[in-house]
A = this chain, B = another copy of it.
Amino acid sequence: MVPIEGLPEVQAGDDLAGLILEACGSVYPLRPDDVVVVSQKVVSKAEGRLVQVDPDDPMSHKPLVISEATRVLRRRGDLIITETRHGYVCANSGIDRSNVAADIAALLPVDPDRSARRLRDAITHRTGSRVAVIVADTFGRPWRRGVTDIALGCAGIRPVLDLRGTPDASGRVLHVTEVCIVDELAGAAELVRGKSAGVPVAVIRGVDPSWFGPGSVTGDVVRSYDDDLFR
């Protein structure tokens, strides 16, 4: 796992794939079967998902939280836990004001799986290397303190895999264990991205090539309202 440093400040309309490839450069050229993990924030910036807010009012983005949500699940003080249009359950509909100008709030990409697909297609096309892309964001969880990075969107990698669905050492056939590898990969990447003071891109090399394949986070990971026991 390698953090990719040297990405410039990303602006709306920027060619993010090009910037990533430039930052990888000759230091860490992408190879086939690399997984490129990109932070939601730079994707939102490149896609222009930025809204002007009152820089002097720390609550001025709250109306956006509601307009980006399909359901408000919980409120406590300033904290609003919502279900977004994509189906993610997170704080403030994923909107935040860090790493943007004081008068800007960054919204989540409209379709993070599509964002991942576009990045993957552009990188694969320009390098000739088949890569997978994960768009990662930082979410809290119920039950446990602290945040972890999870996958908002992905392309080129199967999000949920049965890593252990074989008879176990006792010859007993295991219950199927469907592991959400894209969330584990996003969290792993955060460890090297965060370490390097918020570097927005990391490359994970050496994953099993059999993990590459079709799938999306909204299709394969996001639980529907009716399937969920805690909403």
Residues of chain A touching chain B, judged by Cβ–Cβ distance below 8 Å, are 9, 74, 76, 81, 88-89, 97-102, 138, 141-150, 159-160, 163-164, 166, 168-170, 172, 174-175, 177-181, 183-185, 187-188, 190-191, 194-195, 197-198, 207-208, 220-223, 228-231
Contacts and interface: CB of A to CB of B under 8 A. Distances in A.
Contacts of A175: 98
Given A98-B174, A170-B99, A190-B179, A221 B160 contact: no
B99 A179 contact: no
Contact of A230 (B178, B181, B230): B230
A191 B195 contact: no
Contacts of A166: 197
A102 B172 contact: yes
B143 A223 contact: yes
A71 to B, nearest CB: 12
Given A138-B177, A181-B191, A146 B160 contact: yes
A222 B99 CA distance: 29
A55 B220 CA distance: 34
A228 B140 CA distance: 12
A175 B190 CA distance: 17
23 contacts: A81-B229, A98-B175, A99-B170, A138-B179, A143-B230, A144-B150, A144-B183, A144-B222, A145-B160, A145-B221, A146-B178, A146-B183, A146-B220, A147-B180, A148-B184, A148-B187, A166-B197, A168-B198, A179-B190, A183-B187, A184-B188, A184-B190, A185-B191
A145 B187 CA distance: 16
A191 B195 CA distance: 20
A163 B207 CA distance: 25
Contacts of A198: 164, 168-169
Given A169-B99, A179-B190, A197 B146 contact: no
Contacts of A181: 146, 191
Contacts of A164: 194, 197-198
A116 to B, nearest CB: 17
A143 B175 CA distance: 21
A231 B142 contact: yes
